[in-house]
């Protein structure tokens, strides 16, 4: 199995998939990732991250029925697993602690 820690983009994608809930599919996740990071990620880059997250068992996915708006193609929805939510909390706590330490270090100067 792949390494189970989160990369930068993986963390953002997992957080956004978690926030979007039942509407978390590729295009919607990409839209929010671009809005949050102000960087233009390609659809392929987002799916690469989604695939890695699924390999790490942090996400699971299912396909919808084919939709006319998508040229008769289906959507794949992504749902964070319990392990994914736990990893997301752990990563967020780590970042929060990091920022707190930085803030404290700034104040003591």
Beta carbons of 68 and 81 less than 8 angstroms apart: no
Burial 12-38 (b: 16+ CB within 10 A, else e): bbbbbbbebeeebbbebbbebbeeeee
Residue among 71, 78, 91 at smallest CA distance from 24: 78
Question: Per rule CB under 8 A, is residue 30 in the interface with another protein?
Answer: yes
3-state class (DSSP) for residue 55: helix
Beta carbons of 16 and 32 less than 8 angstroms apart: yes
Question: Per rule CB under 8 A, is residue 12 in the interface with another protein?
Answer: yes
Question: Per rule CB under 8 A, is residue 5 in the interface with another protein?
Answer: no
Cβ closer to another protein: 5 or 100? 100
* Span near another protein by CB under 8 A; candidates 16-24, 32-40, 81-89: 32-40
**Separation between Cα atoms, residue 82 and residue 89, nearest integer Å:** 11
Which residues inside 35-94 make contact with another protein, applying CB under 8 A?
36-39, 42-45, 47-48, 50-51, 63, 66-67, 69-71, 73-76, 92
- At closest approach, how far in Å is the CB of 73 from another protein? 3
Interacting residues toward another protein by CB under 8 A: 8, 12, 25-27, 30, 36-39, 42-45, 47-48, 50-51, 63, 66-67, 69-71, 73-76, 92, 95-96, 99-100, 102-103
């Amino acid at each position: 199995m792949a390494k189970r820690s989160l990369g930068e983009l993986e963390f953002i994608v997992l957080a956004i998939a978690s926030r979007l809930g039942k509407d978390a599919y590729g295009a919607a996740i990409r839209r929010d990732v671009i809005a949050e990071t102000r960087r233009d990620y390609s659809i392929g880059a987002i799916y690469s991250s989604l695939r890695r997250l699924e390999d790490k068992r942090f996400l699971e996915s299912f396909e919808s029925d084919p939709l006319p708006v998508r040229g008769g193609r289906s959507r794949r929805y992504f749902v964070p697993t319990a392990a994914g939510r736990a990893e997301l909390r752990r990563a967020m706590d780590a970042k929060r602690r990091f920022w707190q330490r930085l803030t404290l270090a700034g104040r003591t100067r």
